[in-house]
Amino acid sequence: MAGRGRAIAATALRTGARVAWRRGFGLRRGDAASRAAAREVRRGLERLGPAFVKLGQLASVRPDLVPADLAFELGALRDRVAPHPAPAIRAVVARELGAAPDALFASWDDAPVASASIAQVHAATLARPYRPAVGPVLPAGTKVAVKVVKPGVEAALAEDVALAYRVVRLAARLPAVARLDPAALVAEVEASVARELDLRVEARASLRFARFFRDDPRILVPSVVGRHTTRRVLVTTFVDGWRLSDLGAAERAGVDAHGLAVHGATAFLRQVLELGAFHADLHPANLLVTPDGRIAYLDFGIVGTTTAAEREAIAQLLVATAFGDADRAVRASRALGLALPPDREAPIRAAVDGLLRTHLTERHPADLRGFALGVLRLLQRERVPIPPGYGLLLKSLVTVEGVARALVPDVDVVRTAAPTASDVLLRTLSRPERLRARAPAAVRAAVRELLA
């Protein structure tokens, strides 16, 4: 414990010194210095280990809590951890499922296909047919992915989280750090880790997405094998495919990359605007292109949610950005919880209008990342609190743009999103209950017009 604590303190001090150097000890400002400092923080978290990588991953989806450049840099954090030995993993499977892997599956591969901080994945094949909650019967011999929580990881993460609390309490003595409320972030890590340690949570999210996209032939969500799924083991159908970094092979195999890019962006908007839940951890390892030309979503450990009122406001915001309407964008942002000080609203709206023109309306393809970064920097500069859902939405949309551009470099996500957002908005506004709610105001307006 003490040795680990000293190692964390030493790494934290070295990282702090590197950040200070990149910042020119407070004299160097600007976007380039911010990005360089953010890179040093990311590298420091990677050196500190799994719990701190998890801390950084959570911070990456909270641009309301950390500077915009840092939030985007932390999106590159990946935890690649050496796998546990096969006997230890086999023991977890036997304890959770009541029998050894060789007795449960027709085949079992001791060599893991992936290993992260919390779990590792092994390939196996079903010994008997299985009827999943969504999709056709899986025949015996179906290849499956068996995700297993590593033994001892819960205690190790708890130790690192406790040390993280001590580190952030010390760091919070600095006013600049205290403003970020790092203890709250560590508390979220605790909650996030607790959710990820219970693979039944991920199984339920996966089922929800599978039901939602069951009629979409271009989206693949792996089927959950409930018979072999417990708190520490999750079994799903295995997905073969190409990562987005290896699309040359996919295109040579005849995959329509442009069609997938457009469909992928639309599918994400359907999650946000219709399902009310969206995959909030899209990165190359969690998104594959299959040989039959589908987009496969993997790992539903981090999911964002939206309420009905938020979905309408998000649709309004997307339509406003597509048409370069700063007034409408600010109104929709207010509906999403963004509280602009009255005396600063006019200059902020003017700045948003400038960002819209620079990055979206006068640029092709539109630069959603530049626009989102500009808005977040503007709000942080003006010290306007950013609602958590608002920041996560902007960050997720930028991630979708990055994913789509990995498929097709010049795809325009903003203009691709506009028809879906308009359609959702039209359906929302034309609902009977919505029309009844707006009828009195409309009648009053009509009467005023007649009497004028």
* Positions marked active-site: 281
Tell me the two tokens of residue 270: 């359907």
Contact present, 224 and 147 (Cβ < 8 Å): no
What does the alpha-carbon distance between residue 366 and residue 377 come to, in Å, rounded to a whole number? 19
> Order of strands, edge to edge, in the sheet holding 242-243?
219-220, 295-297, 287-289, 242-243
Specify the residue for token string 């939030």: 71
If DSSP codes are grouped into helix, strand and coil, which group holds residue 235? strand
What's the chain's Rg over C-alpha atoms? 24
What's the DSSP call for residue 357? Answer: I
Distance, in Å, from the CA atom of 142 to the CA atom of 60, rounded to the nearest integer, reads 36
Q: Positive or negative CA dihedral for 116, 117, 118, 122?
A: positive
Cis ω on the peptide bond leading into residue 365 (within 30° of 0)? yes
What is the CB-side half-sphere exposure of residue 428 using CA atoms within 13 A? 18
Q: Which residues contact 164 (CB under 8 A, 6 or more apart)?
A: 51, 52, 55, 186, 189
Sequence-ordered list of residues with C-beta below 8 angstroms from that of 101, at least 6 positions apart, any chain: 90, 93, 94, 108, 122, 124, 146
> DSSP class of residue 324?
T
Taking CA 246 as the corner, what is the angle to CA 245 and CA 248, rounded to the nearest 5 degrees? 125
The rounded distance, in Å, linking the Cα atoms of 222 and 297 is 8
> What's the DSSP call for residue 130?
B
d(CA 48, CA 26): 25
d(CA 242, CA 231): 29
φ/ψ (deg, to 5) at 279: -65, 115
Place of tokens 């009828």: 439
Rounded distance between C-alpha atoms, residue 100 and residue 98, angstroms: 7
